[in-house]
Structures are given as C-alpha cells and as structure tokens.
Structure 1
Amino acid sequence: QLANKLSASEKDIAKRVKGELDEKLKAYEAKVAEKEKQFKAQLKQKGQQIVAQQREISDVRRELEKTREDLHSSEALVKEHLQTISEQNARIGELFLVYHGSI
C-alpha cells in the first residue's frame, strides 16, 4: 500500500512538473514568436527604406546625367558663340581697316 501511495505521488509530481514545464515552454514559444514577429517587421521596414534609398539614388543619378548633358550642350553653344564673336571681331577689324584706308 505504501508503494502504491509512493507511485501515485511520483506520478502526481511528474504530472505537475510536466504541466509547469509545458506552461513555461508555451510562454517561451510565445515570447520567441513575438520576437520573431518584431524582427520580421523591422526587417520589412529596413527593406522598404533600402528600396526607397535606391530609388532616390537612381533619381539623383538620372538628374546628374541630365545635368551633364545640359552642360555639354551649353559648352557647345558657348564655343559656337565664341566662334561667331571671333568671326565678327575679325570682320569688324577688316571693315575698320577698309574704312580707315579709304579716308
């Protein structure tokens, strides 16, 4: 009879310990699941930030390329105008000499 009581007590203790461990395990799993959820949310947010930054970089690169093209176009116009001015100055010089030569 004492052996039966001892065996029943052991089973009861084992059952309580198992129940406590199960509760602790469930709490730990819930905590891990919450941490994982937070991590995934942060990861998603960081990913969105990276995508936004990449778009911004692409926009800046396009703007820079357009500015370069505009600069080259402006340089070509400046060269063209300088050439025209130089030709006009030469023509003015010729006319000046012709005018003074005829006086």
Structure 2
Amino acid sequence: MNTFVILYHYAPDSQKILEIRPQHREFLKALKDEGKLIGSGPFTDGQGGALIVIRLPEPATAEDAAELMDRDPFHTGGAISARTIHSWDPVLNVFN
C-alpha cells in the first residue's frame, strides 16, 4: 500500500466549507468504508485548512491520489483555495 498526505488550504471563516462540509464528510466516510482513509480533520489553530491521510494499493502515485481527491465535494465545490498532495512513508507506522 502507498500512503499519501493531502493538505487542504481554506480560510478559517469560509462559508463554502460550512455549506459543503456534510457532503465532504460523506465522501470521506465512503473512503473509510473502502479502507482508503487513514485519518482526516481540520486544523484547530485558527488558521483554517485540514489534513487527510489516505492509502491506495501499489503502484498508486500522487497523481492517482489527486484523481481520487478530485471527487471530494470540497474540491468540486470550489471550497478550498489550494491543495497539496505528498507521498508519505510512515516509518513508525501506527496506522495498521
């Protein structure tokens, strides 16, 4: 399995985020049910944004992760101002 970290950037007071959040969470629940979502959640420092960690079968690439996350209602609804995707090697892996 390959692991990817997705950083979402959005304003802490974004109305679009509030409006679309229920559909976004349904999307994430579906990823969890498929065994793809490791964890997700908003940053709590008042700066906005969120972190999502997913795993996809090998030989998945960051492009594959982007294609999957393109279906997130936050993305399709234009709620995020930027998104960064990194492949990640959780050396000390507690995400069994």
What is the TM-score with the length of structure 1 in the denominator? 0.19
What is the TM-score with the length of structure 2 in the denominator? 0.20
Report the structure, 1 or 2, having the larger strand content: 2
Report the structure, 1 or 2, having the larger helix content: 1
Instruction: Tell which has more relative contact order, 1 or 2 (C-alpha 8 A, sep 6+).
Output: 2
